[in-house]
Amino acid sequence: MQHQDVLRRPVITEKNTRLMEQGQYMFEVARDANKIQIKDAIERTFDVSVRKVNVINVRGKQRRRARRQGRTASTGWTPSWKKAIVSLQEGDTIDLFGDFY
Amino acid sequence: MKVTVEQQPKSSVILDIVADDDEFKQAVNRAFRRVNELVNVPGFRPGKAPRQLVEQRVGRDLIVQEAHREVMDDLYRRALEQEDIVPVSDPEVDVYQDEPVGFKVTIQVYPKVDLGDYSTISVEPREVNATEEEVEDVIQNLRKQQSTWVEPDEPRAPVEGDQVILDFEVYEGDEEFHEPVVGADFVLGEGPLFKQIEEAVKFLQPGADAEFDINFDEDDEEVPEQIRGKTLHYKVKLQEVKSRELPEVDEEFLKSINEEYSTIEDLREAIRKDLLQNKVQQSRDEFLDEAFEKFAELASLEVPDGLVDRELEREYQQLGERLGQQGMSMDEYLRMTQKTESDIQSEMRPDVANRVRNSLVLEAFGEAEGVEVTDEDINAEIETMVGDNEQAEQMKELYQSDYFKNMLRSQLENRKITEHLIEHVSGGVGAITGEGKALLDEQSSSAIAESTEVEGSSDDDSSENADADSDEEQAAEAESAGDGDDEAEQKPGE
């Protein structure tokens, strides 16, 4: 797997902006990427050194869609994905608000 | 805040206002917080998104604009206060700099009137007399008004001053222009008939009819607008001709005008007084107008449009209220007169502008001459107004309110300054000379007599007053009859 394929997008939320303050950044990553590949990809893309990578598999959520009256609702799933929280070496930063996308 | 003031002609000024860096930054911060509450950024609760993200999303401009809105109003107010400016128009605002905000405001301000050396201004007093001819004219009109109509001995074509009874139909092309009129009576030369019709009728014998076209000129001011420039076809039938018989000026005639009149001299005297009264009023207005004109010229006073606009707005509303009292709405009035609001306002405008100018002059003159109305003046005025009315105490109470007192004060001030101004420009002679002056003197002395006479039998007084009123009405009627403009009568072609 090429390193360009590992990172999908940064996850920017209220919670994650607080993590950023302590040098931790959250990304959605390819489901089959491992911590080593993620570390490699981050270091190459943003020119920083990574101290630690935590990964979590996020299970998709069940979604029901209502049908016409009297019929059973059909159920589906939102996609599952993998997220990675990347801790950088002290002093390194990534500007996720920039216009690089 | 930095403010520079630039004086402009027509008593307007341009304020150049620039906010301080610090105060503006704070305003932008506040603006950001407000904007943030409204912006939806996924992953963040409202108001919690980081600034950078919000600016990316909505653009920095929007936040700066929001800051402008907040801060400009306040800046403008403070600038007015700091520079001691009273605006009389809505401000025209031009923003020329964003951060920190800088803008120019053009406003018209209440003019500071410098009257200049007005001691040389003088206005010729108006001489007011009522001549015998004028009195005679009014009597003639009264007679005409009361004249009886008789069939002439021999049937004949009508002449000026005759009453004619007509049927007529009016067509525009093949279309009927309005409902046919049957058996309407007119007095030739005194009624509302168009001249063209009158001329045609003069060729008809009673019972005869005629058909003719009339071309109305585009700019014929004497006919209603909707028929100007049209050609209308008339079918007229003359039913009857009656000649006028003027009543003799005898006792019966006098009684029919007013029960109190027993001799022709009574009538003459009443008419004469009434004529003088009207003329005095008119001449006094003219006199004042001339005086104000001269003052305004000397002071090279330019009345700001904004001030006129405000006054115009007020008077327009008053017009609406007056109509309302007559049970008519403004909209109905506009439909009836076929005018728009702006038509009426532009008609009113010259008069209003004049009044505004006059009141500016008056105000400045009063100030320059130190004319003041004291509380005693006001109380005295209240006493006079209340008089010996039965509810005197209650009325006095009512007049004690600040609202009434202020109103009275400004009225009195106006009157006092006006009197002073008349004294000044006439060299102490007064606005009116001649017989009119005698009338004025008589009235003011009797007014004083009335106000000093607190006790006494008020019954006699009031009955006398009522008579005086009816005299006036009679004479006024006589005058309007003389104009020959009886609006109640039907006007053909309308």
Average pLDDT for residues B211-227, to the nearest whole number?
Answer: 78
Tell me what pLDDT residue B430 has: 76
* B200: amino acid identity, one letter: A
- Distance (Å, rounded) from C-alpha B1 to C-alpha B280? 57
Chain A residue with minimum CA distance to B44: A14
* B444: amino acid identity, one letter: S
B32-81 pLDDT, tens digit each: 999 999 888 888 888 888 888 888 888 888 888 888 888 888 888 888 88
Confidence of residue B474 (pLDDT cuts 50, 70, 90): very low
Answer whether B49 sits within 8 Å of A14, measured CB to CB.
yes
* Residue A21 touches chain B, beta carbons under 8 Å: no
Please give the tally of structural domains in chain B.
2
Answer whether B50 sits within 8 Å of A17, measured CB to CB.
yes
**Contact by Cβ (8 Å): B146, B250:** no
Instruction: Classify residue B159: in a domain, yes or no.
Output: yes
Report chain B's mean pLDDT, rounded to a whole number.
77
- Between these two residues, B90 and A36, which has the higher pLDDT value? A36
Tell me what pLDDT residue B435 has: 74
Tell me what pLDDT residue B327 has: 83
Residue B127 has pLDDT above 60, yes or no: yes
Average pLDDT for residues B241-247, to the nearest whole number?
Answer: 81
Chain B residues near residue A97 by CB distance under 8 angstroms: 50, 52-53, 56
Chain A residue with minimum CA distance to B49: A14
Tell me what pLDDT residue A34 has: 92
Of A97, A99, A101, which to mutate for an interface test with B (greatest number of B Cβ within 10 Å)?
A: A97
Tell me what pLDDT residue B444 has: 62
- Between these two residues, A98 and B223, which has the higher pLDDT value? B223
- Between these two residues, B36 and B254, which has the higher pLDDT value? B36
- Which of A43-57, B84-98, B273-287, B327-341 ranks highest by mean pLDDT? A43-57
Chain A residues near residue B52 by CB distance under 8 angstroms: 97
What are B288's two structure tokens? 């004042």
Chain B residues near residue A13 by CB distance under 8 angstroms: 42-44
Per DSSP, B109 falls in state B
Phi, psi values for residue B464, rounded to 5°: -65, -45
* Residue A83 touches chain B, beta carbons under 8 Å: no
CA distance A70 to chain B (A): 35
* Exposed / middle / buried, residue B181 (Cβ in 10 Å: 0-12, 13-18, 19+): middle
Looking at the fold, whether B92 and B34 belong to one and the same domain comes out as yes
* Residue A34 touches chain B, beta carbons under 8 Å: no
Confidence of residue B305 (pLDDT cuts 50, 70, 90): confident
Domain ranges in chain A are 3-88
Distances B125 to B95, B178, B359, B429, B431 between C-alpha atoms, Å = 54, 52, 21, 7, 5
* Residue A14 touches chain B, beta carbons under 8 Å: yes
Answer whether A14 sits within 8 Å of B44, measured CB to CB.
yes
Answer whether A97 sits within 8 Å of B48, measured CB to CB.
no
B434-447 pLDDT, tens digit each: 777 777 777 665 54
Domain covering A3-88, topology: Alpha-Beta Plaits (3.30.70)
Structural domain range at position B198: 148-245
What are A25's two structure tokens? 């950044």
**Contact by Cβ (8 Å): A56, A27:** no
Tell me what pLDDT residue B200 has: 80
Instruction: Classify residue B364: in a domain, yes or no.
Output: no
Instruction: Classify residue B360: in a domain, yes or no.
Output: no
Distances A28 to A21, A36, A94, B97, B305 between C-alpha atoms, Å = 19, 15, 15, 44, 67
Give the domain CATH number at B62: 3.30.70.1050
Where chain A has pLDDT below 50, the residues are 100-101
Average pLDDT for residues B265-281, to the nearest whole number?
Answer: 83
User: Which of B45, B52, B56 is facing A14, going by the closest CB pair?
Assistant: B45
**C-alpha torsion angle, residues B350, B352, B356, B362 (rounded to 10):** 100
Residue B494 has pLDDT above 60, yes or no: no
Chain B residues near residue A14 by CB distance under 8 angstroms: 43-45, 48-49
Give the domain CATH number at B227: 3.10.50.40
- Between these two residues, B230 and B32, which has the higher pLDDT value? B32
CA distance A94 to chain B (A): 14
B152-211 pLDDT, tens digit each: 777 788 888 788 888 888 888 778 877 788 888 888 877 777 877 888 888 888 888 888
Tell me what pLDDT residue A70 has: 65
Instruction: Classify residue B350: in a domain, yes or no.
Output: no
CA distance B71 to chain A (A): 29
Looking at the fold, whether B14 and B98 belong to one and the same domain comes out as yes
B354-394 pLDDT, tens digit each: 888 888 888 888 888 877 778 788 778 777 777 767 777 77
Confidence of residue B472 (pLDDT cuts 50, 70, 90): very low
Average pLDDT for residues B92-102, to the nearest whole number?
Answer: 84
What are B223's two structure tokens? 């006919």
ipTM: 0.78
First to last CA, chain A: 21
Chain A residue with minimum CA distance to B51: A97
Residue B465 has pLDDT above 90, yes or no: no
User: Which of B48, B52, B56 is facing A14, going by the closest CB pair?
Assistant: B48
Chain B residues near residue A17 by CB distance under 8 angstroms: 50
Looking at the fold, whether B155 and B92 belong to one and the same domain comes out as no
Answer whether B52 sits within 8 Å of A97, measured CB to CB.
yes
Instruction: Classify residue B437: in a domain, yes or no.
Output: no
Looking at the fold, whether B9 and B104 belong to one and the same domain comes out as yes
Residue B302 has pLDDT above 60, yes or no: yes
